[in-house]
Amino acid sequence: MNVLARVARFLFWLLVLSWSTWLLRRALSWALRKAGVPAQAEAPGFQAVDASRSARLLVRDPICGMHVDQTLSIPYRDEGELLHFCSITCRDAYVVSTKKFAANA
């Protein structure tokens, strides 16, 4: 019974420690966020535009299915259709697979 009590006590203190760490991180995050906000941003109706958080168009790689920012993707035009790939490897795999398909047809 003594071992079981020690395990339960250990788990209890581990839970308390993790909860208090989470709470402390959340409080520090809130305090730092509050300190970094300019005074005019707290006024009602104020809308700040953050250029780094602007919307980006994501495109899907047809080979691996990964979503990539359109500006960072590797474009490839195939029979008038513009495809976007995450890497040169995926683009080459697509080219090889379409050549095999065309040869078998």
Number of compact structural domains in the chain? 2
**Residue 61 sits in the same domain as residue 24:** no
Domain that holds residue 91: 56-104
**Does a structural domain hold residue 26?**
yes
3-state secondary structure of 89: helix
CA-angle at 48, arms to 45 and 54, nearest 5° = 130
CATH of the domain at 81: 2.30.170
Question: Residue 85 in contact with residue 74, Cβ under 8 Å?
Answer: yes
Asked if residue 50 is part of any domain, the answer here is no
Least confident piece of the model among 27-36, 55-64, 83-92: 27-36
Q: How is residue 105 written in tokens?
A: 């047809």
Residues 33 and 6 both lie in one domain: yes
pTM for this entry: 0.46
Q: Are residues 70 and 99 in the same domain?
A: yes
pLDDT digits (tens, 9 = 90+) for 72-94: 999 999 888 999 999 999 999 99
User: Is it the case that residue 13 has pLDDT exceeding 80?
Assistant: yes
The answer to whether residues 97 and 60 belong to one domain is yes
